[in-house]
Amino acid sequence: MNRTEPLVLGIESSCDETGVGIVRGNTLLTNAVSSSMEEHVRFGGVIPEIASRAHLDAFVPTLRQALEEAGVTLDDVDAIAVTSGPGLAGALMVGVCAAKALAVATGKPLYAINHLVAHVGVGVLDGGELPENLGALLVSGGHTEILRVGSLTSDVELLGSTIDDAAGEAYDKVARILGLGYPGGPAIDKLAREGNPKAIRFPRGLTQPKYMGSAEAPGPHRYDWSFSGLKTAVARCVEQYEAAGQEPPVADIAASFQEAVVDVITSKAVLACTEHGITNLLLGGGVAANSRLRELTAERCAAAGISLRVPPIRLCTDNGAMVAALGAQVVMAGGQPSGVEFTPDPSQPVTSIHLPAA
C-alpha cells in the first residue's frame, strides 16, 4: 500500500449527510455530499430512521459521483476510511456496512475513523500540515467540544464539552419556539442581524464560580457548556410577552440568544487554550458557518495571541472528505487497518482516533 501519498476514499454517514470524499495525501480530489435535511424539516429536527433510510438511497449515487469527479476507480484506491462514531447508531451502521462491503469486494484495507477528530483532520486539505500546540473548537448540531490535539493520529484529548444540548441543537429548539422553522442556525443568524444582542440578558450556563473555580482549583465544569437553561429562558421570555398580550420582539430575542451562545462558547474555548498552552485553534463543525461565532472567535483569539484557522464552510459541515483526510493521515503515520470485525460506536471518544483490528 502507498503510505507516502495514499489515495483514500472516505465515507461519512453519522447524521443526515451522506458523504463520499476522495483525497490523495493532503490533496482533496472530490467531496460529494447528499443531504436528507429537507426530509426532516416538517419534524423540526433529524429523525434517525429517516436519516438511515436516506443514507441507503443516497450511498451508491454519491459514491459514483465522487469516483467520476475524481477521475479514479475503486481499483485505484489505496484504502477506504469510514466514520465509525460518534453519531446516530442506525446512520453509522449504513455507512459502515457499505464500507465493509466495498473493502471485501475490492480487497482494500479499511480504516474506522473518529468523526470528531476528522473535523480537525480536514484542516490539512486547506492549508496543509497542521501546526503544533493545536486545539480544536467543534460546534455542530450534535457536538460542542474543545480538544487539545497533540498528534492528529495518536494524541487527542477532550478538554470540555456540552453536558446537555449541543449548540446547534439549541439553535434548532429556539428557532422552533420563535416560529422560524428548521434548520434553526441559519434562520437565527440572519434574523439576529436585525436585532439588539443586548436587549435581553440571557443566562450563560456553567459560568458561575462554583462551576468555573479558579486557575488553581478549577470547578467541575471549567471548560464545559450547558445550553438547556438558556433554551428554557428563551421559552419563558416569549411566554411572558404573550401572557401580557404583546408580540415578542423576535429579532431582539434571536440576537440576544445568539450572543449568549457565542459569548460562552468563545470565552471558555479561549480559556481552555490559554491554560493548556494552545496557541493555534481550528474552528470546525456546521455551526462554524455562523457569522457571529466566527467574528467573536476571531476577535477573542486575536486578543489572546491565538492563531485561528477556519476551513471553508463546505469542509466544516459533515462530509466524506474529512474522513478521507484523517484516514490518509493515519495511513501515512503507519496505522494498521481496522479489518471488518469492528462495530459502529455511537459514543466513540475522541481518544479513539481510529479503531484497531479486533
- 102/79 same-domain check: yes
C-alpha closest to that of 76 among 66, 84, 85: 66
Whole-number pLDDT of residue 81: 98
Answer yes or no: is 228 a known binding residue.
no
Q: Residue 241 to residues 174, 237, 259: CA-CA distances in angstroms?
A: 16, 7, 20
Question: Phi then psi for 197, rounded to 5 degrees?
Answer: -70, -10
320 known member of a binding site: no
The answer to whether 142 is a known ligand-binding residue is yes
141 labelled as ligand-binding?
A: yes
The dihedral through the CA atoms of 221, 227, 228, 232 has a sign that is positive
* Co-location of 145 and 258 in the same domain: yes
pLDDT for res 217: 87
Q: Which residues pair with 81 in a beta bridge?
A: 10, 111
Same structural domain, 30 and 113: yes
Counting the structural domains of the chain, the total is 2
Q: Is 172 annotated as a binding residue?
A: yes
Residue 115 covered by a domain = yes
On whether both 148 and 274 belong to a single domain, the answer is: yes
Q: Is residue 117 part of a domain?
A: yes
Annotated binding residue 290: yes
- Indicate if 25 and 53 belong to the same structural domain: yes
75 is in an annotated binding site: no
The answer to whether the annotation marks 140 as part of a ligand binding site is yes
Does 283 lie in the same domain as 146? yes
CATH number assigned to the domain comprising residue 177: 3.30.420.40
- Distance (Å, rounded) from C-alpha 98 to C-alpha 81? 11
Q: Are residues 93 and 242 in the same domain?
A: no
Neighbouring C-beta atoms of residue 181, cutoff 10 Å: 14
Quick check: is 249 in a domain?
A: yes
Find the helix or strand (DSSP H, E) in which 323 lies. helix 320-332
Residues 164 and 305 in one domain: yes
306 and 320 in a single domain? The answer is no
Same domain as 205, residue 346: no
What is the per-residue pLDDT for 272? 98
CA distance 217 to 88: 36
Q: Are 146 and 160 in contact (CB under 8 A)?
A: yes
Residue of 89, 34, 107, 37 lying closest to 65 (CA atoms): 34
Q: How far apart are alpha carbons 72 and 87 in whole angstroms?
A: 29
Structural domain includes residue 1 = no
Tell whether residue 10 is among the known ligand binding residues. no
Residue 242 lies in a domain: yes
The answer to the question of whether 334 is labelled as a binding residue is no
Closest CA to 126 of 280, 259, 325, 286: 325
Residues 200, 230: Cα–Cα separation, whole Å:
12
| Per-residue pLDDT at 41 | 78
| Residue 2 lies inside a defined structural domain of this protein | no
Residue 217 counted as domain residue: yes
Q: Is the peptide bond before 48 cis (omega within 30 degrees of 0)?
A: no
Cβ-proximal residues to 13 (8 Å cutoff; 6+ apart), any chain: 19, 55, 59, 83, 87, 91, 92, 94, 95, 96, 98
Residues 88-126 as b/e (b if ≥16 CB within 10 A, e otherwise) read: bbbbbbbbbbbbbebbeeeebbbbbbbbbbbbbbbbbbe
Per-residue pLDDT of the chain (358 residues; tens, 9 = 90+): 788 899 999 999 999 999 999 999 999 999 999 988 788 777 777 888 898 999 999 999 999 999 999 999 999 999 999 999 999 999 999 999 999 999 999 999 999 999 999 999 999 998 888 999 999 999 998 899 999 999 999 999 999 999 999 999 999 999 999 999 889 999 999 999 999 999 999 999 999 999 999 888 898 999 999 999 999 999 999 999 999 999 999 999 999 999 999 999 999 999 999 999 999 999 999 899 999 999 999 999 999 999 999 999 999 999 999 999 999 999 999 999 999 999 999 999 999 999 988 7
Residue 143 lies in a domain: yes
For position 66, what pLDDT does the model report? Answer: 98
Residue 345 in marked binding region:
no
Place of cell 401580557: 244
Angle at CA of residue 115, ends 169 and 142, nearest 5°: 5
Does one domain contain both 285 and 190?
yes
Is 189 labelled a binding residue?
yes
Please check whether residues 89 and 161 belong to one and the same domain.
no
Domain holding 89, by residue range, is: 7-126+316-355
